[in-house]
């Protein structure tokens, strides 16, 4: 019997790093090492030191390998999936010049507005990049840096996304992939490369950006001796290009050209996202028209306020997160960190509809409803971007795959079920971002198409399937009416 071989899929998220030690043949998750990150900033600022990500990656890999009980010689490949959109600026030696601006840093909202106008409006951006600049996008953060920290902008020798920075540390080679690059607003989803006119608009030289690999599974190099020593892994193992966290989750679910197409997914985490893999190039101003890691597309809508915002409301009320009831007449839009969808980056939370008999449990339930509604409202637009008719009974009956930390919470699941009226699938495979990264690593090590790899692995997983319940149209309409009537001053925008 041949010796067991494993790959390591790394999920470098906003809050922590996870390193999943995964059997290359079966996809069995043998161990997950974890290490925390540090996020700083007040008001709209959200920053992290990229060196903390590297140290966390080293610690998580060491912890995962130790937990697995396997020898380091069993590892044949590694790939990183990272939080999207973050801006990392490096000096000539590859060291960060300053803390990275994270995806949920909203200070660049004025720059997003100015850039949108500079190119002729939202439609012009969507036609070229698939997305409209909002404060989350990397291009707006670079513009903010130029205007607010010009010394570091001028000193920058290289610009990287979070996963690019870590992959370069692993392989000693600069690289990115189409998926994560498509979240910058300087990558063209039409041509599949950097848009030089947009780079000129941003005052950014293409030489400062990493080459774009064909897919996230492309082997861009081998683990260097110095990285191998830091991680306790063998030098020379395959390093994949890697991708963004949402693209990696899609791979982990088996979504893509070699798997499921045009099937929606709802992710409940720090952010809330709804996405699908499609062969149709998305061009909707209401969505982010990303590329996927495997050569398809990944239209996506993202909200800033999801599980953390609801947990904050639970803390304020002194309740356990599952001690909630439907909101009744109360509507709570939990936009505690501003909001990306809808685009109100300086918004605050909004509560209305209080009565004498409103209970704390209903207020918490209203927070769940407001967060779930915000991301679910984009679902029909997502389906249209895939070339589908949301009103088609077959399309309307397609199950919604529910992932992320919230998918493990009873109240989250029931709230989404009640507001969507759709059947739900809660995948049995855990750590989907890390699992997707592991599939990319396995592919880079010679394992074939990453989506096909993940599909084969997932065949052994036991998914929870929940039938639809009658849609709560009363709650849906009530929340929608408040959101549609809320002006920017009312939301604090």
For 414, other C-beta atoms within 10 Å of its C-beta total 19
CA atoms within 13 A on the CB side of 124: 10
- Inter-CA distances, 51 with 48, 90, 403, 412, Å: 9, 11, 29, 34
**How far, in Å, CA of 36 to CA of 53, rounded?**
9
Q: DSSP string covering 371-417, please?
A: HHHHHHTTHHHHHHHTT--TTSHHHHTSPEEEESGGGG-HHHHHHHH
Q: Answer yes or no: are the C-beta atoms of 177 and 293 closer than 8 Å.
A: yes
Could you confirm whether 472 is annotated as catalytic? no
Token pair of 433 as six digits:
């971002």
CA atoms within 13 A on the CB side of 196: 2
Phi, psi of 119 (to 5 degrees): -95, -5
Q: Answer yes or no: are the C-beta atoms of 83 and 14 closer than 8 Å.
A: yes
Question: What is the 8-class DSSP label of residue 57?
Answer: H
Question: What is the 8-class DSSP label of residue 102?
Answer: P
Question: From the candidates 11, 164, 195, 245, which is the catalytic residue?
Answer: 245
For 383, other C-beta atoms within 10 Å of its C-beta total 23
Helices (H), 5-100: 50-68
**How far, in Å, CA of 490 to CA of 493, rounded?**
7
Q: Active-site residues: which are they?
A: 245
């Amino acid at each position: 019997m041949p010796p067991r071989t494993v790959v390591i899929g790394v999920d470098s998220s906003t809050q922590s790093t996870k390193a999943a030690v995964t059997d290359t043949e079966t996809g069995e998750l043998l161990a997950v090492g974890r290490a925390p990150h540090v996020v700083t900033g007040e008001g709209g600022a959200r920053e992290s030191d990229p060196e903390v990500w590297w140290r966390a990656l080293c610690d998580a890999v060491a912890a995962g390998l130790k937990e697995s009980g396997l020898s380091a010689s069993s590892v044949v490949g590694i790939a990183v999936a990272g939080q999207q959109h973050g801006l990392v600026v490096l000096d000539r030696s590859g060291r960060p010049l300053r803390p990275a601006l994270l995806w949920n840093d909203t200070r660049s909202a004025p720059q997003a507005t100015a850039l949108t106008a500079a190119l002729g409006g939202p439609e012009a951006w969507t036609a070229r990049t698939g997305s409209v600049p909002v404060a989350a996008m990397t291009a707006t953060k670079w513009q903010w840096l130029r205007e607010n920290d010009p010394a570091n902008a001028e000193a920058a020798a290289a610009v990287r996304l979070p996963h690019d920075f870590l992959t370069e540390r692993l392989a000693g080679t600069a690289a990115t992939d189409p998926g994560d690059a498509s979240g910058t607003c300087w990558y063209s989803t039409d041509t599949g490369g950097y848009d030089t006119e947009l780079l000129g608009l941003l005052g950014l030289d293409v030489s400062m950006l990493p080459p774009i690999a064909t897919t996230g599974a492309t082997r861009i190099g081998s683990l260097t001796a110095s990285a191998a020593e830091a991680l306790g892994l063998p030098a020379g193992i395959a390093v994949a290009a890697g991708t963004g966290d949402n693209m990696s989750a899609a791979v982990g679910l088996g979504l893509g050209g070699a798997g499921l197409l045009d099937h929606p997914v709802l992710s409940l985490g720090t952010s809330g996202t709804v996405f699908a893999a499609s062969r149709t190039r998305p061009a909707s101003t209401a969505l982010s028209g990303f590329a996927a890691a495997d050569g398809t597309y990944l239209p996506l809508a993202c909200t800033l306020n999801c599980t953390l915002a609801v947990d904050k409301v639970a803390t304020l009320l002194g309740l356990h997160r599952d001690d909630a009831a439907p909101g009744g007449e109360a509507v709570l839009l939990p936009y505690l960190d501003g909001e990306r969808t809808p685009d109100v980056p300086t918004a605050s939370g909004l509560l209305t509809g209080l009565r004498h008999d409103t209970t704390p449990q209903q207020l918490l339930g209203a927070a769940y409803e407001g967060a779930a509604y915000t991301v679910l409202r984009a679902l029909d637009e997502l389906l249209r971007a895939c070339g589908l008719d949301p009103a088609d009974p077959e399309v309307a009956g397609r199950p919604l795959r529910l992932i992320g930390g919230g998918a493990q919470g009873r109240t989250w699941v029931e709230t989404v079920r009640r507001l969507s009226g759709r059947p739900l699938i809660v995948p049995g495979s855990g750590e989907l971002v890390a699992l997707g990264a592991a599939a990319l690593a396995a592919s880079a090590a010679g394992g074939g198409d990453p989506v096909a790899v993940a599909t084969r692995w997932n065949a052994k997983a036991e998914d929870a399937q929940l039938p639809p319940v009658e849609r709560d149209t009363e709650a849906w309409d009530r929340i929608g009416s408040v959101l549609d009537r809320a002006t920017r001053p009312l939301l604090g925008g």
